[in-house]
A and B are shown apart, each in its own frame.
Chain A
Amino acid sequence: DAKTTQPPSMDCAEGRAANLPCNHSTISGNEYVYWYRQIHSQGPQYIIHGLKNNETNEMASLIITEDRKSSTLILPHATLRDTAVYYCIVRAAQTGGFKTIFGAGTRLFVKA
C-alpha cells in the first residue's frame, strides 16, 4: 500500500503558484520523499526529491516539515502544461530491493 496521502484534485490559476500537499506520517528515517507527475497518456516524470532539507530545482521546490511527516510540492508559476496527476512517494534510500508504489495522486488542473 502507498504510504502517502494526497488530496484527489486541486485547481490552480495559470501563472500562480501551485502548492500540492502530501502526508507521510509513517515515513522512516532512511526514506526519501519523491515527487513524480504524469501527464495524460505518458509515463511518470521525475520532478524532485528530498530527505529532510528543502530542495529546489528548475521545475519545483520541495518543502519538508521538520518532523518529516508531511511535505509540499510548489510549482512557482503554474502553466497549462503543468496539468497532470502528481504523485508523492516515499522510498527507501538503500540500493536494490525497494519498490516504488504509487498512490492515487493529486490531479492538478491549471486553468487559464
Chain B
Amino acid sequence: GAVVSQHPSWVICKSGTSVKIECRSLDFQATTMFWYRQFPKQSLMLMATSNEGSKATYEQGVEKDKFLINHASLTLSTLTVTSAHPEDSSFYICSARGSSGRDYDEQFFGPGTRLTVL
C-alpha cells in the first residue's frame, strides 16, 4: 500500500507553546487528508477533514482556532496545536486518501505523533 509519513513521531513541549505536526503522502497525491486524535485505550476520533487548497472541515466539538490545519499541496498537510495544554496530550494520526481511478478510494494512515504537553 501507499506510504504516509508523519513528523515528528513524538514531541514534548511546555504548556502554552505551539506544536506543528506534518503529514506527507510519499508516493501518491492525497486529495483529502484527515486528522485523528486518540487518547489511551480509546478509539480514533476524527478531528477534521481537509481538501487540498480549501479550508478544513472540523468535527463538532473540535476548536478550529486551536487546531490549525493547512493542506497546501497534494502531498502535505500540517496540524498546528496552538497554545498547547496538558489535556492536548494525545496520539495524533493523519490519514491520506487519493483517487485511484477505481470505484473506491484508498485511504492510508500515518504512523502517528505522540504529543506530550508538560
A-side residues, CB < 8 A to B, are: 32, 36, 38, 41-46, 49, 85, 87, 93, 95-96, 99-105
Contacts and interface: CB of A to CB of B under 8 A. Distances in A.
A103 B45 CA distance: 9
Majority-rule SS of A interface residues? loop
Interface residues of B, number: 28
Interface of B: 1, 4, 6, 31-32, 34, 36, 43-46, 49, 51, 91, 93, 95, 99, 103-112, 114
Contacts of B1: 46
A49 B104 contact: yes
B109 A99 contact: no
A34 B108 CA distance: 12
B34 A99 contact: yes
Majority-rule SS of B interface residues? strand
Nearest to A101: B46
Contacts of A100: 34, 46, 95, 107
B104 A32 contact: yes
Given A32-B104, A49-B104, A43 B112 contact: yes
A93 B103 CA distance: 6
B93 A44 contact: yes
A46 B95 CA distance: 11
B59 to A, nearest CB: 8
A19 B17 CA distance: 46
B42 to A, nearest CB: 8
Contacts of B109: 36, 43-46
The 6 closest A-B pairs by CB, nearest first: A43-B109, A102-B44, A44-B109, A93-B104, A102-B43, A43-B112
Contacts of B106: 46
